[in-house]
Amino acid sequence: MDVKKPSRARLLWLIPLIAGTVYILKKEHTAVPYQQTRGLIFGTIYNMTYQHPEDLKIEIEEELKRFDASLSPFNDSSVVSRVNRNEDIMTDTLFRNVFERSMQVSEETGGAFDITIAPLVNAWGFGFKKGTWPAQQQIDSLLELTNYRNVALVGGKIIKKDPRITITCSAIAKGYAVDVLAQLLERKGIKNYMVDIGGELNLKGVNARNEVWRIGINKPVDDSLSVNKELELILQLTDRGVATSGNYRNYYYKEGKKYVHTIDPKTGYPVQHDMLSATVVAKDCMTADALATAFMVMGREKAKAFADAHPEIGACFIYSDGGGTFKTAITKNMKQYMAR
C-alpha cells in the first residue's frame, strides 16, 4: 500500500494553524481574570483563587454559614450540637454526608478514625492545659463511649447506643467544607480553582499561568505560632484534594517525655510513634482530611501499607529519626505528584 507523506507545503500550512490555535486557547484562558477571596472561618483562614469575572465572596460566605449551622461544635444551634444534646431532630444533607463518609473511613482503617472520640480528646486537652493527666479509671470509662459502631444514621436521625456518646467532626469537617466550596464554584461553571481552608485544599484545572497547581508542605517544626514557613517538599497536581495532619504544634511535655494531641481511639491514650505529619492526596479533600488523621493514629508502617494498597491515595510522612533529623517517606502513589 502506498502511503503518501505530507507535502512540505502542507506542513508549512499546518504550523501557523497549530500556533494560531494555541494562541487562541491561551488568549481565552487569560481573558477571564482570576479572583482571590479570603476570610476567616473555623478559627483559621480560608483562601480561594478561581477564574471568574466576579468576586464571589458573598456567596462563598453564605455557603460557609450554612456549613457552620450544620457541623460547627461551637454553634449551639448547629445540627451536630443538637445531636450531641440528644435532641430529636432530622439531620441535614451536610451532616449526613460527613457522617456516612466518616463511617466508611472508620471501617476502612480498622477504627483508627472515629468520630465518637470527642470525650477522650477533651479529657486529654484539658489535661494538657492543666498539666495533669486523666486518671486510668476516667480513660476506661470514656473508652466505653468511644466506638463508631455505637452510633448509626437511621431515617435521617442519629441513633446512639448510649446517650452520653458525643460526635466530633473536627477531623473531617474542614476537608468537607473545602469540597463544599469547590462544589459552589463548579455550579458556577468554574473549571480552574484552588480552595484552601487552613491548609486543606481542593484543586481543579490550572492556575493563572496556565500550569497545574504547586503546593508547598511545611517542615514539621515545633512552632506553635506558625512563624516558620520553611518547606519540606513541593507537590505539583490538579483535580485532587490535599490535607495534612500533624503532631508538631499541639503537644505537652511531662517528665521529659513528649505527648501529642492525636489520641488512639482503641487505647484512649496519645499515640507514641515517630511520625510528625501525614500529608494525603485523594480524589476529594474530605477523604484526604479523614485519612490524614487516621494515618497519624496508625503510624508510618501501617499507614504506608494502606496507601500503597489504594491506587487513588497518595501520602507523604515526615518523621523524626530520634536524633532531631527530619526524614520523609513517600508512598508509591505519591511520587507522581512530587515537583521536579
| Domain end (from 147, 168, 189) | 168
- pLDDT attached to residue 233: 84
Q: Can you tell me the distance from the alpha carbon of 176 to that of 232, in angstroms, rounded to the nearest whole number?
A: 26
- pLDDT attached to residue 325: 80
- pLDDT attached to residue 228: 53
235-277 pLDDT tens trace: 999 999 999 998 755 555 565 555 667 899 999 999 988 888 9
Structural domain includes residue 138: yes
Q: How far is the CA of 276 from the CAs of 189, 226, 328, in angstroms? A: 39, 15, 10
Instruction: Identify whether residues 223 and 124 lie together within a single domain.
Output: no
Instruction: Identify whether residues 153 and 229 lie together within a single domain.
Output: no
| Domain end (from 107, 142, 168) | 168
| pTM higher than 0.85 | yes
Q: Mean pLDDT by 10-residue block, N- to C-terminus, for the chain (340 residues)?
A: 49 49 48 95 92 97 96 95 98 98 98 96 73 87 96 98 95 97 98 96 98 87 53 91 81 58 91 90 98 96 96 94 83 91
Structural domain includes residue 63: no
Q: Can you tell me the distance from the alpha carbon of 252 to that of 256, in angstroms, rounded to the nearest whole number?
A: 10
- pLDDT attached to residue 259: 60
Compute the Cα dihedral for 120, 121, 127, 133 and give only its sign: positive
- pLDDT attached to residue 323: 72
Instruction: Identify whether residues 329 and 228 lie together within a single domain.
Output: yes
Q: Can you tell me the distance from the alpha carbon of 42 to that of 317, in angstroms, rounded to the nearest whole number?
A: 26
- Residue that is written with C-alpha cell 500533624 in the block: 246
C-alpha cell at 272: 507514641
Structural domain includes residue 39: no
Instruction: Identify whether residues 271 and 323 lie together within a single domain.
Output: yes
Domain total in the chain: 2
Structural domain includes residue 230: yes
Structural domain includes residue 180: no
Structural domain includes residue 267: yes
The CATH code of the domain that includes 99 is 1.10.3980.10
The CATH code of the domain that includes 291 is 3.10.520.10
Phi, psi of 65, rounded to the nearest 5 degrees: -65, -40
Structural domain includes residue 31: no
Structural domain includes residue 185: no
- pLDDT attached to residue 247: 72
Instruction: Identify whether residues 163 and 224 lie together within a single domain.
Output: no
67-101 pLDDT tens trace: 999 999 999 999 999 999 999 999 999 999 999 99
CB 172 within 8 A of CB 102: yes
Instruction: Identify whether residues 257 and 333 lie together within a single domain.
Output: yes
Instruction: Identify whether residues 217 and 141 lie together within a single domain.
Output: no
Instruction: Identify whether residues 227 and 163 lie together within a single domain.
Output: no
Phi, psi of 317, rounded to the nearest 5 degrees: -115, 125
C-alpha cell at 263: 489520641
Instruction: Identify whether residues 164 and 218 lie together within a single domain.
Output: no
Give the distance between the most distant pair of CA atoms in the chain. 87
107: number of Cβ within 10 Å: 12
Domain around 106: 77-168
CB 188 within 8 A of CB 214: no
Instruction: Identify whether residues 226 and 123 lie together within a single domain.
Output: no
Compute the Cα dihedral for 286, 40, 72, 56 and give only its sign: negative
